[in-house]
Amino acid sequence: MTRTPDILFIKPGSQRQLYGELSDYSLTAIEPPLWGAILGGYLRQQGYLVEILDAETQGLGWEETAREAVDRAARLTVVMASGHNPSASTMNMVGVGAIARRIKELAPQMPLALNGLHVSALPEQTMREEACDFAIQGEGLLTLPPLLDALKAGADTFQGIPGLWWRADGGIVPGTMPEMWKDLDTLPMPSWDLLPMERYRAHNWHCFDDVSRRQPYATLYTSLGCPYHCSFCCINALFGEHRLRTRSVDSVVAEIDFLVQNYGVRNIKIMDELFGVNEKRVLEMCDAIAGRGYDLNFWAYARVNTVNERMLEAMKRAGVNWIAYGFESGSKRVIEDVTKGYKLDQVMRVVEMTYAQDQHICANFIFGLPEDDYDSMQETNALMQEINAEWANIYSAMAYPGSKLYDDAVAQGLPLPASWNGYSQYSRDSLPLPTKYLTGGQVLAFRDYAFDAYYKSPRYLSMIRAKFGEETMRHIRQMAEKTLDRDNAVI
């Protein structure tokens, strides 16, 4: 007899809505729902029967996903605003909401919860706007076991469960942000065996050395949270504090062993908001990974003002071939306004150090931060060209819920996207935050111009050919031919 699952985690499939024409060309990564696997591993350790439905990898639309959820009839179904980088949760709420509404139409009595970074940032609004019984604020580790036990006991009240928002008598009962999980090493390994590991793929740029070799692929955390206070970032909305918690080297290496030995994983994204921050820990971690002798291809985040040559050298030995830096802007005024915490004169020194280790740079830039005008955006454009990174993520500033930019935008009554889909960088209805001097439409048009100029630059393409070969250069040229339909861009 098949046992009914205690909990079903759902990752919506939203590639077409979020990435437009880019989704057709398989440029985007398909990342495993890591938080679903983390929660699944923990709950399974506690004796609960866990299932995960990754609708994206199965090519399921929202209607099909809802029907599948109803057929599985779990004691609790959790639809996840998947994505835990600042730009990757809010934009998924369109799919989350559509699936939740359809589940409730098909099975009104089936308990349904929503979770994720966006939900944690806006739990009350989520409860008001979405068809759900519960909103989970925070990580969920302290919330889900007592909620499942209460549902199993047939309870009609859920008072005192940390992080839980719920409905009673037609109203919303507010929850409180739970404590963060203190010791990450007490958590079991994520439930990788519940995921279709063969279907995940790395970003195209992560595999520029061989763009045909993007699978298999995995993501992992070696730490959670960030101690910094950048005004455009919302990552700590999931945790409630600006604090960094770390896993032990042994725990991380054991997970890498498992992924390599069981799934043949080579390409790995280190999900930490800030991997390259503590020299002692980076050296110890990377030396242990290098000692395994695997042929791995990592990418990881670092800050301009926290890395040094010893750290980069150790990272390279471990297979960290790509370093992602948040350069953000080429304007001193703009950088200081968003409390980024580094000096512009540090940028090229770090770039040179990274290239000296034969590592590649994923450079992150943001057009449209509050102090941006056309002159400052040109400064950023010039810095992009000077660095000439092998890959550049070229963003428009979005007021993501959970960030100071969002709070300021709401307080000032600034125009925000009409739907959560408009928070996607690549969607048709994308609408960036206006600056003190420019409209969101002007920022969007400049961003698209800068993207086009960067990836069609003869200097850039020549560098790519020299480092990665003719095939990768043709891949980028084909990518750059794609155009994005925009409703809000203003020249």
Question: What pLDDT sits at residue 15?
Answer: 54
- Beta strand ranges found along 181-315 (DSSP E): 217-220, 223-224, 245-246, 267-270, 297-302
CATH superfamily membership of 7-173:
Cobalamin-binding domain (3.40.50.280)
Q: Is the peptide bond before 216 cis (omega within 30 degrees of 0)?
A: yes
Question: What pLDDT sits at residue 228?
Answer: 82
List of residues 6+ apart from 126 with CB closer than 8 A: 114, 118, 119, 132, 135, 165
Least confident of 136-150, 358-372, 414-428: 414-428
Question: What pLDDT sits at residue 340?
Answer: 61
Class of the domain covering 201-480: alpha beta
Q: Where along the chain do the CATH 3.40.50.280 domains lie?
A: 7-173
In this structure, what token pair is assigned to residue 469? 């070969």
With residues binned 3-state (H G I as helix, E B as strand, rest as coil), the percentages for the chain, rounded to 5, are: 45, 15, 40
Q: Where along the chain do the CATH 3.80.30.20 domains lie?
A: 201-480
- Residue 272 near residue 239, CB atoms below 8 Å: no
Does the pLDDT of residue 32 top 70, yes or no? Answer: yes
What confidence category does residue 84 fall into, taking pLDDT thresholds of 50, 70 and 90?
Answer: low
The candidate with the shortest Cα–Cα distance to 441, out of 489, 485, 480, 398, is: 489
pTM of the shown model: 0.94
Q: Give dist(CA 79, CA 99) in Å, integer.
A: 8
Other Cβ atoms less than 10 A from the Cβ of 138: the count is: 25
Chain-wide mean pLDDT for the chain?
Answer: 92
In this structure, what token pair is assigned to residue 307? 């890395």
How many percent of the chain have pLDDT more than 70?
95
Pairing of strands 360-367, 320-328: parallel
Does the pLDDT of residue 289 top 60, yes or no? Answer: yes
Does the pLDDT of residue 491 top 80, yes or no? Answer: no
What confidence category does residue 19 fall into, taking pLDDT thresholds of 50, 70 and 90?
Answer: very low
